[in-house]
Amino acid sequence: MNPMNPITEDDIANYLVHTPDFFERHAQLLSSVQLTSPHGNRAVSLQERQAEMLREKIKALEHRIMDMIRNGNENLIIADKLQRWMRSMLLAREPRQLPSVIIEQFREQFLVPQAAIKVWGVSEAYAAESFAQGASDDARSFASSLTSPFCGLNSGFEPASWLQDPNAAISLALLPLREAGAPQAFGLIVLASPDPQRFNTEMGTDFLERIAELASAALGRLRG
């Protein structure tokens, strides 16, 4: 062996990987190897260390399985609430009932403390309804500028004034209503909570986007 190229740990590891019968010829080594346990400074055999590693892997897998089960249960609960929310919209006989039904179901199914809806460009038959009034041109332009729901702290957004108690609206979710593929919004849903973390900038908006799509399809019946 060239003394300038001493054997390295990688060389030893590579040799053992490619020589699986080594420990068959030197079986006594397996029982004599002593390793330090990660659970204290005591020495354990190679077999004990392998068993500990397997237990740790099993525990990690158990945690992952429990997380999957918990997430699955949570998804089932959300799906059930969404179904009841949709059912309420389908049961509304009069289109003019839809905004109040949607707001009521937000509170009942999703425990949202406050909610409001404004729709513009409605048919003449609904022009006098409260949901068709009170949205300024700025608010309408703002709704059209949203390509996805906004979630975050209420920094004086005009739509918060549509709520029954604007001072209690600390965090907001703003859901633009629009026809599929349309650049302009025809309405806006406001969800509000006194909890600053209920609707925060870090939360995903996929579920809120589906809510906005369904509400848009239902509220489209109000338009001229």
Angstrom CA distances, 81 to 40, 53, 78, stand at 49, 42, 5
Q: Return left, alpha or beta for 156; rule: phi > 0 is left, psi -120 to 50 is alpha, else beta.
A: left
Dump pLDDT digits (tens) for 46-62. 667 677 778 888 888 88
In the prediction, which pLDDT does 64 show?
82
Average pLDDT over residues 134-144: 96
In the prediction, which pLDDT does 166 show?
95
- Residue pair 159/89 in contact (Cβ under 8 Å)? The answer is no
| pLDDT, the chain, mean | 86
| Helices vs strands, H then E, count in the chain | 7, 6
User: At residue 2, does pLDDT exceed 60?
Assistant: no
Q: How far apart are CA 185 and CA 175, in angstroms?
A: 10
Give residue 4's pLDDT band: very low, low, confident or very high (50, 70, 90).
low
Strand order in the sheet with 150-153: 114-119, 187-193, 171-177, 150-153
Dump pLDDT digits (tens) for 120-138. 999 999 999 999 999 999 9
In the prediction, which pLDDT does 216 show?
96
Q: How far apart are CA 29 and CA 129, in angstroms?
A: 86
User: At residue 40, does pLDDT exceed 80?
Assistant: no
Break the chain into its structural domains and give their ranges.
Answer: 34-91, 95-222
The CATH H-level (homologous superfamily) assignment of domain 95-222 is GAF domain (3.30.450.40)
Give residue 22's pLDDT band: very low, low, confident or very high (50, 70, 90).
confident
User: At residue 28, does pLDDT exceed 90?
Assistant: no
In the prediction, which pLDDT does 107 show?
92
Angle at 186 between CA 99 and CA 179, to 5 degrees: 100
User: At residue 1, does pLDDT exceed 60?
Assistant: no
List of long-range contacts for 97-106, beta carbons under 8 Å, 24+ apart:
98/218, 98/219, 98/221, 98/222, 99/129, 99/131, 99/219, 100/131, 102/189, 102/215, 102/218, 102/219, 106/191
Q: What is the DSSP string of 95-128?
A: GGGHHHHHHHHHHHHH--SEEEEEE-SB-GGGTT
Burial class (CB in 10 A: 0-12, 13-18, 19+), 92: middle
Average pLDDT over residues 143-148: 96
Counting every residue written for the chain, the total comes to 224
Return the percentage of the chain with pLDDT > 70, whole number.
84
Higher-scoring residue by pLDDT: 20, 79: 79
In the prediction, which pLDDT does 56 show?
81
Dump pLDDT digits (tens) for 69-90. 777 677 778 888 889 999 999 9
